[in-house]
Amino acid sequence: MNFIQKLEQSWSSSNSLLCVGLDPNWQKIPEHLKTLPEPIFEFCKAIVDATHDLVCAFKPQIAYFAGLQAEDQLEKTLNYIRETYPHIPIILDAKRGDIGSTAEMYAVEAFDRYKADAVTVNPYMGQDSAQPFLDRADRGTILLCRTSNSGAGDIQDLEVDGQPIYEKVASMISREWNTHNNCCIVVGATWPEQMSRLREITGDMPFLVPGVGAQGGDVEALVKAGQTANGKGLMINSSRGVIYAGNDQNFAIASRKVALETRDLINQFRNS
């Protein structure tokens, strides 16, 4: 079973398009966890246990672990998810990208060391830089296309033959890079109009959608713009909104509450 199939099954079994991002910021982790031997792992584990039946995927962000010198706790987090909830796809958010044997080593990092089901990759260096990821046919490669930040347009919106670069990138990925049917793209939640055009360009390719808050309007617009005909096609990521919903002993209960609300809000606007 490859990544896309695993994701399809997860969308169905969870009845959810919500992806919970695991971004363990030390300043925001509940104080009572900080005295434990592996506080970052314990934090992530508690969030995972509290939300596992509400998500289509988990997305640990490697930067938070790397900044804290905690790659061991990242490994442990992925192992825990994989062993306890083997049906849930794990996306390692790493935005890697390099050439030749260096890109191969990044693929080893994501897929062999961390055993992620999919990894985020930056396409700026071109197809050959993504190839070592794409060649892992059982795993997913999630390529940045139109990101959610305010400066995203600096390069991504430049126009080539009357078409923004991010559309060119989406076309290239869809037509040329996706020979193993294991590509997805990142499309920011903040740009529903662009998302609907990208849906036209890429057919049923899954979108990883960062940038969702708890604002209903945004969710409605993005689900309507981005979903596929069968009401799937989206991994709508929320990180801070879910995982920092509380910061006391009951933080995991608070995160479950927000995850449930977000999943249900998303589901209101899905094609059935």
What residues line the site for a copy of itself (CB under 8 A)?
Answer: 23, 25, 61, 63-64, 66-67, 69, 71, 93, 95-103, 105-106, 108-109, 112-113, 122-129, 144, 147-156, 158-160, 165, 168-169, 172
Measured CA to CA, the distance from residue 180 to residue 25 in angstroms comes to: 35
Tokens of 133: 């990821």
For residue 172, the minimal CB distance to a copy of itself (Å) is 7
**95 or 180: CB nearest a copy of itself:** 95
Backbone torsions φ then ψ of 89, nearest 5 degrees: -65, 140
Which conformational region is residue 118 in: left (phi greater than 0), alpha (psi within -120 to 50 degrees), or beta? beta
CB-wise, 42 or 93, nearer to a copy of itself? Answer: 93
Residue 144 near residue 153 (C-beta atoms within 8 A): no
**For this structure, is 224 an active site residue?**
no
CB of 232 to a copy of itself, least distance (A): 26
Kindly list the distances between the CA atom of residue 79 and the CA atoms of 44, 76, 92, 116, in Å, as whole numbers in the listed order: 12, 5, 12, 9
**11: DSSP letter:** H
List the structure tokens of 55: 């998500």
Nearer to a copy of itself, 35 or 150 (CB): 150
Question: What distance in Å separates the CA atoms of residue 2 and residue 19, rounded to the nearest whole number?
Answer: 18
Give least dist CB 191 to a copy of itself, A: 13
**Shortest Å distance, C-beta 272 to a copy of itself:** 33
The one catalytic residue among 95, 168, 224, 257: 95
Of 67 and 203, the one with the shorter C-beta distance to a copy of itself is 67
Q: Which residues are catalytic?
A: 95
